[in-house]
Structure 1
Amino acid sequence: MRVLVTGATGRLGRVAVPRLRDEGFTLRAMSRRPRTGDGVEWVTADLATGAGLAEAVAGMDAVLHLASSPNRRTHDIDVLGTRRLAVAAGHAGVRHLVFVSIVGVDRVPLGYYRHKLAAEQVVAAGPVPWSVLRATQFPEFLAGLLSGASRLGPLVGDRAVLAQPVDSGEVADRLAVLLLAGPSNRVEDFGGPEVLRFDEAARAWLAARRVRRPLLPVRIPGRLGRELRAGGLTTTATPAGTRTWADYLADTYGGTGGR
Protein backbone atom coordinates (compact mmCIF):
# COMPACT_ATOMS: atom_id res chain seq x y z
CA MET A 1 0.00 0.00 0.00
CA ARG A 2 1.35 3.43 -1.00
CA VAL A 3 0.73 5.93 1.78
CA LEU A 4 1.45 9.65 2.02
CA VAL A 5 2.19 10.73 5.61
CA THR A 6 1.68 14.40 6.40
CA GLY A 7 3.32 15.76 9.53
CA ALA A 8 6.02 13.14 9.15
CA THR A 9 8.49 15.15 11.24
CA GLY A 10 6.12 15.72 14.18
CA ARG A 11 5.98 13.82 17.45
CA LEU A 12 3.67 11.10 16.14
CA GLY A 13 5.10 11.20 12.61
CA ARG A 14 8.62 10.45 13.83
CA VAL A 15 7.29 7.28 15.43
CA ALA A 16 4.74 6.29 12.79
CA VAL A 17 7.00 6.55 9.73
CA PRO A 18 9.57 3.90 10.75
CA ARG A 19 6.88 1.61 12.16
CA LEU A 20 4.77 1.72 9.01
CA ARG A 21 7.87 1.33 6.85
CA ASP A 22 8.88 -1.77 8.81
CA GLU A 23 5.33 -3.14 8.43
CA GLY A 24 5.78 -3.10 4.66
CA PHE A 25 3.95 0.09 3.66
CA THR A 26 5.49 2.08 0.81
CA LEU A 27 5.72 5.55 2.30
CA ARG A 28 5.98 9.06 0.97
CA ALA A 29 6.68 11.48 3.81
CA MET A 30 5.61 15.10 3.51
CA SER A 31 7.40 18.09 4.98
CA ARG A 32 7.42 21.83 4.37
CA ARG A 33 11.20 21.71 3.94
CA PRO A 34 13.32 19.35 1.79
CA ARG A 35 14.43 16.24 3.68
CA THR A 36 15.97 12.85 3.04
CA GLY A 37 16.48 9.65 5.00
CA ASP A 38 14.48 7.16 7.07
CA GLY A 39 14.21 4.80 4.11
CA VAL A 40 11.23 6.64 2.62
CA GLU A 41 10.54 9.05 -0.22
CA TRP A 42 10.29 12.66 0.91
CA VAL A 43 8.18 15.32 -0.77
CA THR A 44 7.91 19.04 -0.07
CA ALA A 45 4.42 20.54 0.27
CA ASP A 46 2.63 23.19 2.30
CA LEU A 47 -0.88 22.77 3.71
CA ALA A 48 -1.17 26.51 4.40
CA THR A 49 -0.82 27.45 0.73
CA GLY A 50 -1.55 24.20 -1.11
CA ALA A 51 1.83 24.32 -2.84
CA GLY A 52 3.03 20.83 -3.75
CA LEU A 53 -0.07 18.98 -2.57
CA ALA A 54 -1.07 17.70 -6.00
CA GLU A 55 2.38 16.20 -6.48
CA ALA A 56 2.41 14.82 -2.93
CA VAL A 57 -0.82 12.82 -3.29
CA ALA A 58 -0.20 11.64 -6.88
CA GLY A 59 -0.11 7.86 -7.13
CA MET A 60 -1.00 7.27 -3.46
CA ASP A 61 -3.49 4.66 -2.25
CA ALA A 62 -4.02 6.35 1.12
CA VAL A 63 -3.15 9.47 3.06
CA LEU A 64 -2.28 9.43 6.77
CA HIS A 65 -2.90 13.00 7.88
CA LEU A 66 -0.89 13.79 11.02
CA ALA A 67 0.08 17.41 10.34
CA SER A 68 -1.18 20.03 12.78
CA SER A 69 -0.23 23.49 14.01
CA PRO A 70 -1.61 24.11 17.50
CA ASN A 71 0.29 27.33 18.16
CA ARG A 72 0.13 29.38 14.97
CA ARG A 73 -2.07 29.68 11.87
CA THR A 74 -4.17 26.82 13.22
CA HIS A 75 -7.27 27.56 11.14
CA ASP A 76 -5.22 27.99 7.95
CA ILE A 77 -3.32 24.73 8.43
CA ASP A 78 -5.59 22.41 10.40
CA VAL A 79 -8.92 23.34 8.81
CA LEU A 80 -8.30 24.99 5.45
CA GLY A 81 -5.15 22.92 4.91
CA THR A 82 -7.07 19.72 5.57
CA ARG A 83 -9.66 20.83 3.00
CA ARG A 84 -6.90 21.50 0.44
CA LEU A 85 -5.41 18.08 1.12
CA ALA A 86 -8.75 16.29 0.84
CA VAL A 87 -9.58 18.00 -2.46
CA ALA A 88 -6.17 17.19 -3.91
CA ALA A 89 -6.46 13.58 -2.73
CA GLY A 90 -9.89 13.30 -4.31
CA HIS A 91 -8.59 14.56 -7.64
CA ALA A 92 -5.72 12.05 -7.44
CA GLY A 93 -8.04 9.09 -6.82
CA VAL A 94 -6.80 8.39 -3.28
CA ARG A 95 -9.01 5.70 -1.76
CA HIS A 96 -8.60 6.34 1.98
CA LEU A 97 -7.87 9.39 4.14
CA VAL A 98 -6.96 8.63 7.77
CA PHE A 99 -7.05 11.66 10.06
CA VAL A 100 -5.65 11.78 13.58
CA SER A 101 -7.57 13.88 16.07
CA ILE A 102 -7.84 14.15 19.87
CA VAL A 103 -10.22 12.58 22.36
CA GLY A 104 -12.39 15.35 23.76
CA VAL A 105 -12.49 17.73 20.79
CA ASP A 106 -16.28 17.57 20.93
CA ARG A 107 -16.41 18.19 24.70
CA VAL A 108 -13.52 20.29 25.94
CA PRO A 109 -13.88 24.02 25.14
CA LEU A 110 -10.40 24.86 23.87
CA GLY A 111 -9.74 26.88 20.72
CA TYR A 112 -7.34 24.30 19.30
CA TYR A 113 -9.89 21.56 19.88
CA ARG A 114 -12.53 23.52 17.97
CA HIS A 115 -10.18 23.60 15.01
CA LYS A 116 -9.51 19.85 15.24
CA LEU A 117 -13.24 19.15 15.34
CA ALA A 118 -13.76 21.38 12.31
CA ALA A 119 -11.00 19.47 10.51
CA GLU A 120 -12.77 16.18 11.32
CA GLN A 121 -15.91 17.60 9.73
CA VAL A 122 -13.94 18.64 6.64
CA VAL A 123 -12.63 15.07 6.29
CA ALA A 124 -16.09 13.55 6.73
CA ALA A 125 -17.61 15.90 4.14
CA GLY A 126 -14.75 15.51 1.68
CA PRO A 127 -14.42 13.50 -1.52
CA VAL A 128 -12.25 10.68 -0.11
CA PRO A 129 -13.53 7.74 1.98
CA TRP A 130 -12.18 8.27 5.48
CA SER A 131 -11.40 7.12 8.99
CA VAL A 132 -10.73 9.31 12.04
CA LEU A 133 -8.72 8.17 15.05
CA ARG A 134 -9.03 10.31 18.17
CA ALA A 135 -6.16 9.62 20.57
CA THR A 136 -5.73 10.66 24.19
CA GLN A 137 -2.70 12.68 25.30
CA PHE A 138 0.84 11.42 24.81
CA PRO A 139 2.85 11.02 28.03
CA GLU A 140 5.43 13.48 26.72
CA PHE A 141 2.70 16.10 26.58
CA LEU A 142 1.65 15.39 30.16
CA ALA A 143 5.27 15.53 31.31
CA GLY A 144 5.66 18.89 29.58
CA LEU A 145 2.57 20.23 31.35
CA LEU A 146 3.93 19.08 34.71
CA SER A 147 7.28 20.67 34.00
CA GLY A 148 5.62 23.97 33.11
CA ALA A 149 3.34 23.79 36.15
CA SER A 150 6.34 23.47 38.49
CA ARG A 151 8.70 26.02 36.99
CA LEU A 152 8.10 28.52 39.81
CA GLY A 153 8.58 26.00 42.62
CA PRO A 154 5.36 24.32 43.76
CA LEU A 155 3.61 22.09 41.26
CA VAL A 156 0.38 23.94 40.49
CA GLY A 157 -2.70 22.23 39.08
CA ASP A 158 -6.26 21.03 39.46
CA ARG A 159 -5.91 17.80 41.41
CA ALA A 160 -9.10 16.24 40.03
CA VAL A 161 -8.42 16.71 36.30
CA LEU A 162 -8.36 13.31 34.60
CA ALA A 163 -5.85 12.20 31.97
CA GLN A 164 -5.28 8.96 30.07
CA PRO A 165 -1.79 9.02 28.54
CA VAL A 166 -1.28 6.78 25.53
CA ASP A 167 2.01 5.69 23.99
CA SER A 168 2.64 7.21 20.55
CA GLY A 169 4.01 3.91 19.27
CA GLU A 170 0.76 2.18 20.14
CA VAL A 171 -1.17 4.92 18.36
CA ALA A 172 1.05 4.35 15.31
CA ASP A 173 0.30 0.63 15.47
CA ARG A 174 -3.44 1.34 15.60
CA LEU A 175 -3.11 3.60 12.57
CA ALA A 176 -1.51 0.73 10.66
CA VAL A 177 -4.55 -1.40 11.50
CA LEU A 178 -6.90 1.30 10.23
CA LEU A 179 -4.96 1.72 7.01
CA LEU A 180 -5.08 -2.00 6.29
CA ALA A 181 -8.80 -2.24 7.18
CA GLY A 182 -9.81 0.46 4.70
CA PRO A 183 -12.24 3.33 5.16
CA SER A 184 -14.69 3.04 8.04
CA ASN A 185 -16.32 6.46 7.57
CA ARG A 186 -16.50 6.80 11.35
CA VAL A 187 -14.64 8.25 14.33
CA GLU A 188 -12.80 5.85 16.63
CA ASP A 189 -11.25 6.62 20.05
CA PHE A 190 -7.97 5.17 21.26
CA GLY A 191 -6.66 5.76 24.77
CA GLY A 192 -4.09 4.57 27.22
CA PRO A 193 -4.60 1.72 29.68
CA GLU A 194 -5.38 3.84 32.77
CA VAL A 195 -7.11 7.04 33.79
CA LEU A 196 -5.10 9.14 36.24
CA ARG A 197 -5.95 12.12 38.39
CA PHE A 198 -3.61 15.06 37.96
CA ASP A 199 -2.27 14.69 41.50
CA GLU A 200 -1.58 10.96 40.99
CA ALA A 201 0.34 11.61 37.76
CA ALA A 202 2.21 14.52 39.37
CA ARG A 203 3.36 12.56 42.42
CA ALA A 204 4.61 9.69 40.27
CA TRP A 205 6.45 12.17 38.01
CA LEU A 206 8.12 13.89 40.96
CA ALA A 207 9.12 10.56 42.51
CA ALA A 208 10.62 9.27 39.27
CA ARG A 209 12.71 12.44 38.99
CA ARG A 210 13.64 12.36 42.71
CA VAL A 211 12.31 15.88 43.09
CA ARG A 212 10.49 17.19 46.15
CA ARG A 213 7.84 19.78 45.35
CA PRO A 214 4.63 20.63 47.16
CA LEU A 215 1.42 20.26 45.19
CA LEU A 216 -0.50 23.55 45.12
CA PRO A 217 -4.14 22.84 44.19
CA VAL A 218 -5.72 25.39 41.86
CA ARG A 219 -9.20 24.60 40.57
CA ILE A 220 -9.75 25.31 36.86
CA PRO A 221 -12.91 27.42 36.65
CA GLY A 222 -15.93 27.26 34.39
CA ARG A 223 -16.97 24.73 31.80
CA LEU A 224 -13.36 23.92 30.92
CA GLY A 225 -12.63 22.77 34.44
CA ARG A 226 -15.87 20.83 34.69
CA GLU A 227 -15.19 18.92 31.47
CA LEU A 228 -11.59 18.16 32.44
CA ARG A 229 -12.61 16.88 35.86
CA ALA A 230 -15.48 14.86 34.34
CA GLY A 231 -13.14 12.95 32.02
CA GLY A 232 -13.47 14.98 28.85
CA LEU A 233 -9.96 13.90 27.84
CA THR A 234 -10.59 10.19 28.48
CA THR A 235 -12.35 7.31 26.76
CA THR A 236 -13.65 3.84 27.60
CA ALA A 237 -13.19 2.65 24.00
CA THR A 238 -11.51 -0.64 23.23
CA PRO A 239 -9.02 -1.69 22.10
CA ALA A 240 -6.74 0.50 24.20
CA GLY A 241 -3.01 0.85 24.68
CA THR A 242 -1.03 -1.14 27.25
CA ARG A 243 1.93 1.08 28.14
CA THR A 244 1.31 2.90 31.40
CA TRP A 245 2.43 6.23 32.81
CA ALA A 246 4.80 4.26 35.07
CA ASP A 247 6.30 2.58 31.99
CA TYR A 248 6.96 6.00 30.45
CA LEU A 249 8.54 7.31 33.65
CA ALA A 250 10.75 4.24 33.93
CA ASP A 251 11.94 4.59 30.36
CA THR A 252 12.53 8.33 30.70
CA TYR A 253 13.93 8.71 34.21
CA GLY A 254 15.11 5.22 35.08
CA GLY A 255 12.12 4.28 37.18
CA THR A 256 10.65 5.59 40.41
CA GLY A 257 13.50 6.87 42.53
CA GLY A 258 15.82 7.13 39.50
CA ARG A 259 16.94 9.92 37.24
Structure 2
Amino acid sequence: MTTILVTGGTGTLGRLVTERLLTAGHEVRVLSRHSRPYAVDLREGGSGLDAALAGADAVVHCATTQRGGDERSAANLVAAARRAGVAHLVYISIVGVDRVPLGYYRTKLAVERLVEESGLGWTVLRATQFHDLVVRMLRVLAKAPVAVLPAHVCDQPVEVAEVADRIVELAVGAPAGRVADLGGPEVRTVESLARAYLGVTGRRRAVVNVPLAGKTYRAFREGGHLAPGHAVGEKTFEEYLAVRFGDGESGRRA
Protein backbone atom coordinates (compact mmCIF):
# COMPACT_ATOMS: atom_id res chain seq x y z
CA MET A 1 0.00 0.00 0.00
CA THR A 2 1.27 3.46 -0.95
CA THR A 3 0.55 6.65 0.99
CA ILE A 4 -0.36 9.43 -1.42
CA LEU A 5 -1.21 13.06 -0.70
CA VAL A 6 -3.64 14.66 -3.17
CA THR A 7 -3.65 18.46 -3.14
CA GLY A 8 -6.93 19.96 -4.26
CA GLY A 9 -8.43 16.58 -3.43
CA THR A 10 -11.97 17.96 -3.22
CA GLY A 11 -11.89 19.59 -6.66
CA THR A 12 -13.16 18.38 -10.02
CA LEU A 13 -10.10 16.28 -10.81
CA GLY A 14 -8.71 15.71 -7.33
CA ARG A 15 -11.92 14.14 -6.06
CA LEU A 16 -11.87 11.52 -8.82
CA VAL A 17 -8.16 10.85 -8.32
CA THR A 18 -8.80 10.34 -4.61
CA GLU A 19 -11.70 7.95 -5.21
CA ARG A 20 -9.67 5.84 -7.61
CA LEU A 21 -6.65 5.64 -5.34
CA LEU A 22 -8.82 4.58 -2.41
CA THR A 23 -10.53 1.94 -4.53
CA ALA A 24 -7.11 0.60 -5.49
CA GLY A 25 -6.27 0.17 -1.79
CA HIS A 26 -3.89 3.07 -1.24
CA GLU A 27 -3.83 5.33 1.79
CA VAL A 28 -4.91 8.75 0.58
CA ARG A 29 -4.58 12.09 2.34
CA VAL A 30 -6.75 14.86 0.93
CA LEU A 31 -5.31 18.33 1.29
CA SER A 32 -7.36 21.47 0.71
CA ARG A 33 -8.11 24.63 2.62
CA HIS A 34 -11.16 23.10 4.29
CA SER A 35 -10.58 19.33 4.25
CA ARG A 36 -9.71 18.00 7.70
CA PRO A 37 -7.46 16.70 9.09
CA TYR A 38 -5.28 18.22 6.35
CA ALA A 39 -6.89 21.65 6.03
CA VAL A 40 -3.96 23.65 4.68
CA ASP A 41 -3.65 26.78 2.58
CA LEU A 42 -0.73 25.90 0.30
CA ARG A 43 0.03 29.56 -0.21
CA GLU A 44 0.90 29.78 3.47
CA GLY A 45 2.55 26.38 3.98
CA GLY A 46 3.53 25.85 7.59
CA SER A 47 3.48 22.95 10.03
CA GLY A 48 0.16 21.66 8.73
CA LEU A 49 1.72 21.00 5.34
CA ASP A 50 4.66 19.21 6.95
CA ALA A 51 2.25 17.02 8.92
CA ALA A 52 0.28 16.16 5.78
CA LEU A 53 3.46 15.07 3.99
CA ALA A 54 5.04 13.13 6.83
CA GLY A 55 5.49 9.54 5.69
CA ALA A 56 3.93 10.13 2.26
CA ASP A 57 5.37 8.19 -0.65
CA ALA A 58 3.96 10.41 -3.40
CA VAL A 59 2.10 13.66 -4.00
CA VAL A 60 -0.43 14.37 -6.72
CA HIS A 61 -0.63 18.13 -7.13
CA CYS A 62 -4.09 19.04 -8.46
CA ALA A 63 -4.65 22.25 -6.48
CA THR A 64 -4.86 25.34 -8.67
CA THR A 65 -6.64 28.65 -8.92
CA GLN A 66 -6.92 31.39 -11.52
CA ARG A 67 -6.96 33.99 -8.76
CA GLY A 68 -3.18 33.84 -8.33
CA GLY A 69 -0.81 32.15 -5.93
CA ASP A 70 -0.08 28.88 -7.75
CA GLU A 71 3.67 29.49 -7.95
CA ARG A 72 3.91 30.28 -4.25
CA SER A 73 1.80 27.21 -3.42
CA ALA A 74 4.00 24.97 -5.56
CA ALA A 75 7.18 26.37 -4.02
CA ASN A 76 5.85 25.67 -0.53
CA LEU A 77 4.77 22.17 -1.55
CA VAL A 78 8.12 21.35 -3.14
CA ALA A 79 10.06 22.58 -0.11
CA ALA A 80 7.91 20.57 2.29
CA ALA A 81 8.09 17.48 0.08
CA ARG A 82 11.88 17.69 0.09
CA ARG A 83 11.91 17.95 3.88
CA ALA A 84 9.62 14.90 4.11
CA GLY A 85 11.69 12.85 1.67
CA VAL A 86 8.79 12.31 -0.75
CA ALA A 87 9.87 10.09 -3.63
CA HIS A 88 7.46 11.19 -6.36
CA LEU A 89 5.62 14.42 -7.23
CA VAL A 90 2.97 14.26 -9.98
CA TYR A 91 1.68 17.49 -11.49
CA ILE A 92 -1.28 17.98 -13.81
CA SER A 93 -0.80 20.78 -16.31
CA ILE A 94 -2.48 22.00 -19.50
CA VAL A 95 -1.63 21.41 -23.15
CA GLY A 96 -0.29 24.64 -24.63
CA VAL A 97 1.14 26.30 -21.54
CA ASP A 98 4.34 26.85 -23.49
CA ARG A 99 2.59 28.15 -26.61
CA VAL A 100 -0.37 30.26 -25.48
CA PRO A 101 0.57 33.60 -23.81
CA LEU A 102 -2.33 33.54 -21.36
CA GLY A 103 -1.49 34.59 -17.83
CA TYR A 104 -2.86 31.43 -16.21
CA TYR A 105 -1.00 29.26 -18.72
CA ARG A 106 2.25 31.06 -18.00
CA THR A 107 1.73 30.35 -14.32
CA LYS A 108 1.15 26.66 -15.01
CA LEU A 109 4.37 26.58 -17.05
CA ALA A 110 6.25 28.24 -14.19
CA VAL A 111 4.94 25.57 -11.80
CA GLU A 112 6.07 22.87 -14.23
CA ARG A 113 9.57 24.30 -14.04
CA LEU A 114 9.46 24.37 -10.23
CA VAL A 115 8.52 20.69 -10.26
CA GLU A 116 11.22 19.80 -12.77
CA GLU A 117 13.88 21.64 -10.77
CA SER A 118 12.66 20.40 -7.39
CA GLY A 119 15.24 17.68 -6.93
CA LEU A 120 12.38 15.22 -6.38
CA GLY A 121 11.33 12.39 -8.63
CA TRP A 122 8.66 14.00 -10.80
CA THR A 123 6.04 13.41 -13.46
CA VAL A 124 4.15 16.08 -15.43
CA LEU A 125 1.04 15.34 -17.47
CA ARG A 126 -0.55 17.95 -19.72
CA ALA A 127 -4.20 17.49 -20.69
CA THR A 128 -6.57 19.43 -22.92
CA GLN A 129 -9.60 21.22 -21.46
CA PHE A 130 -12.13 19.17 -19.49
CA HIS A 131 -15.67 18.82 -20.88
CA ASP A 132 -17.15 20.58 -17.85
CA LEU A 133 -14.87 23.61 -18.29
CA VAL A 134 -16.07 23.97 -21.89
CA VAL A 135 -19.67 23.81 -20.65
CA ARG A 136 -19.03 26.52 -18.06
CA MET A 137 -17.63 28.76 -20.78
CA LEU A 138 -20.56 28.07 -23.10
CA ARG A 139 -23.09 28.67 -20.34
CA VAL A 140 -21.69 32.18 -19.86
CA LEU A 141 -21.68 32.87 -23.59
CA ALA A 142 -25.27 31.64 -23.91
CA LYS A 143 -26.66 34.07 -21.33
CA ALA A 144 -26.99 36.78 -23.95
CA PRO A 145 -29.59 36.60 -26.75
CA VAL A 146 -26.71 36.14 -29.19
CA ALA A 147 -23.86 33.74 -28.43
CA VAL A 148 -20.71 35.54 -29.59
CA LEU A 149 -17.90 33.06 -30.24
CA PRO A 150 -14.23 33.53 -31.18
CA ALA A 151 -13.93 32.88 -34.90
CA HIS A 152 -11.66 30.15 -36.29
CA VAL A 153 -10.93 28.61 -32.88
CA CYS A 154 -11.12 24.90 -32.11
CA ASP A 155 -10.98 22.92 -28.89
CA GLN A 156 -10.31 19.31 -27.93
CA PRO A 157 -12.26 18.60 -24.73
CA VAL A 158 -11.43 15.53 -22.70
CA GLU A 159 -13.34 13.58 -20.04
CA VAL A 160 -12.00 14.42 -16.58
CA ALA A 161 -12.47 10.82 -15.42
CA GLU A 162 -10.08 9.68 -18.13
CA VAL A 163 -7.50 12.19 -16.93
CA ALA A 164 -7.99 10.92 -13.37
CA ASP A 165 -7.36 7.35 -14.54
CA ARG A 166 -4.11 8.39 -16.16
CA ILE A 167 -2.99 10.41 -13.14
CA VAL A 168 -3.55 7.42 -10.86
CA GLU A 169 -1.58 5.20 -13.20
CA LEU A 170 1.30 7.66 -13.09
CA ALA A 171 1.12 8.26 -9.34
CA VAL A 172 1.57 4.61 -8.41
CA GLY A 173 4.41 4.17 -10.90
CA ALA A 174 7.96 5.42 -10.97
CA PRO A 175 8.75 9.09 -11.77
CA ALA A 176 8.53 9.47 -15.55
CA GLY A 177 9.33 13.13 -16.25
CA ARG A 178 7.22 14.86 -18.87
CA VAL A 179 4.88 12.19 -20.26
CA ALA A 180 2.82 12.25 -23.46
CA ASP A 181 -0.05 14.74 -23.55
CA LEU A 182 -3.60 13.52 -23.03
CA GLY A 183 -6.04 15.02 -25.53
CA GLY A 184 -9.75 14.50 -26.07
CA PRO A 185 -10.94 12.28 -28.92
CA GLU A 186 -11.94 15.08 -31.31
CA VAL A 187 -10.68 18.48 -32.36
CA ARG A 188 -13.87 20.52 -32.72
CA THR A 189 -14.71 24.07 -33.70
CA VAL A 190 -16.01 26.16 -30.82
CA GLU A 191 -19.14 26.76 -32.89
CA SER A 192 -19.87 23.01 -33.16
CA LEU A 193 -19.41 22.62 -29.39
CA ALA A 194 -21.69 25.60 -28.75
CA ARG A 195 -24.43 24.27 -31.02
CA ALA A 196 -24.24 20.87 -29.34
CA TYR A 197 -24.61 22.51 -25.92
CA LEU A 198 -27.45 24.77 -27.02
CA GLY A 199 -29.28 21.83 -28.56
CA VAL A 200 -29.10 19.50 -25.57
CA THR A 201 -30.08 22.23 -23.08
CA GLY A 202 -32.94 23.55 -25.22
CA ARG A 203 -31.51 27.05 -25.47
CA ARG A 204 -32.36 29.02 -28.59
CA ARG A 205 -29.60 31.44 -29.42
CA ALA A 206 -28.22 32.99 -32.55
CA VAL A 207 -24.54 32.13 -32.94
CA VAL A 208 -22.07 34.69 -34.28
CA ASN A 209 -18.36 34.09 -34.88
CA VAL A 210 -16.27 37.20 -34.31
CA PRO A 211 -12.54 37.55 -35.12
CA LEU A 212 -10.55 38.86 -32.17
CA ALA A 213 -7.16 40.53 -31.85
CA GLY A 214 -4.07 39.87 -29.83
CA LYS A 215 -1.35 37.27 -29.32
CA THR A 216 -3.47 35.01 -27.11
CA TYR A 217 -6.29 34.78 -29.63
CA ARG A 218 -3.80 34.09 -32.41
CA ALA A 219 -2.24 31.28 -30.38
CA PHE A 220 -5.66 29.70 -29.79
CA ARG A 221 -6.59 30.17 -33.45
CA GLU A 222 -3.35 28.43 -34.47
CA GLY A 223 -4.15 25.49 -32.18
CA GLY A 224 -1.44 26.01 -29.60
CA HIS A 225 -3.71 24.44 -26.96
CA LEU A 226 -4.50 21.31 -28.99
CA ALA A 227 -2.90 17.86 -29.07
CA PRO A 228 -4.24 16.22 -32.25
CA GLY A 229 -1.39 13.73 -32.20
CA HIS A 230 -2.45 12.57 -28.74
CA ALA A 231 -6.22 12.23 -29.14
CA VAL A 232 -6.34 9.28 -26.77
CA GLY A 233 -9.48 10.22 -24.84
CA GLU A 234 -12.58 8.22 -25.66
CA LYS A 235 -15.66 10.07 -24.37
CA THR A 236 -16.92 12.63 -26.87
CA PHE A 237 -18.47 15.98 -26.00
CA GLU A 238 -21.91 14.77 -27.12
CA GLU A 239 -21.62 11.69 -24.92
CA TYR A 240 -20.72 13.90 -21.97
CA LEU A 241 -23.65 16.23 -22.69
CA ALA A 242 -26.08 13.31 -22.96
CA VAL A 243 -25.14 12.12 -19.47
CA ARG A 244 -25.12 15.55 -17.86
CA PHE A 245 -28.11 17.14 -19.60
CA GLY A 246 -30.26 14.22 -20.66
CA ASP A 247 -33.38 16.05 -19.42
CA GLY A 248 -32.23 19.55 -20.26
CA GLU A 249 -30.19 21.79 -18.02
CA SER A 250 -31.79 20.77 -14.73
CA GLY A 251 -35.14 21.82 -16.16
CA ARG A 252 -33.97 25.44 -16.56
CA ARG A 253 -34.26 26.54 -20.16
CA ALA A 254 -33.63 30.04 -21.39
TM bracket, shorter-chain basis: over 0.9
Query: What is the one-letter code of the residue matched to 1:117?
Result: L
Q: Match of 2:73, as an amino acid?
A: G
Equivalent residue letter for 1:189: D
The reply on whether 1:236 has 2:228 as its aligned counterpart is yes
Determine which of 182, 192, 196 is the counterpart of 1:200. 192
Amino acid at match of 2:52: A
1:66 to 62, 65, 70: 62
Q: What is the CA deviation profile of residues 48-83 of structure 1, one whole-angstrom value per residue up to 9, with x for unaligned ones? A: 11121111111000000000111x2x1x3x112101
What residue number does 1:251 align with?
Answer: 243
Cα distance, 1:237 vs structure 2: 4.5
CA pair 242-86 structure 1, distance change in 2 beyond 3 A: same
TM-score normalized by the length of structure 1: 0.91
Match of 1:86 in 2: 78
The alignment of Structure 1 onto Structure 2 pairs a total of residues equal to 249
Pairwise CA distance, 1:239: 6.8
1:27-67 per-residue CA deviation (whole Å, 9 max, x = no partner) reads: 011121243xxxxxx41222111121111111000000000
TM-score when normalising by structure 2? 0.92
The residue identity in structure 2 corresponding to 1:22 is T
Give the SS at the match of 1:215: strand
How far the C-alpha of 1:146 sits from its partner, in A, is 0.8
Report how far residue 87 of structure 1 moved. 1.3
The answer for unaligned runs of 5 or more in structure 1 is 36-41
| Alpha-carbon separation, structure 2, partners of 1:241 and 1:25 | 25
Q: Which residue of 2 aligns with 1:44?
A: 39
**Which shows bigger deviation, 122-131 or 185-194?**
185-194
Give the percent of matched residue pairs that are identical in Structure 1 and Structure 2: 43
Aligned position for 1:4: 5
For structure 2, the 5+ residue unaligned runs are none
Verify the 8 A CA contact 1:161 1:231 in the aligned structure 2.
yes
1:155-208 Cα shifts (integer Å, max 9, x gaps) = 111132111111111000000111122101224311111111011111111111
CA contact (8 A) 1:31 1:43 kept: yes
Of stretches 123-132 and 247-256 in structure 1, the one that deviates more from structure 2 is 247-256
SS at match of 1:43: coil
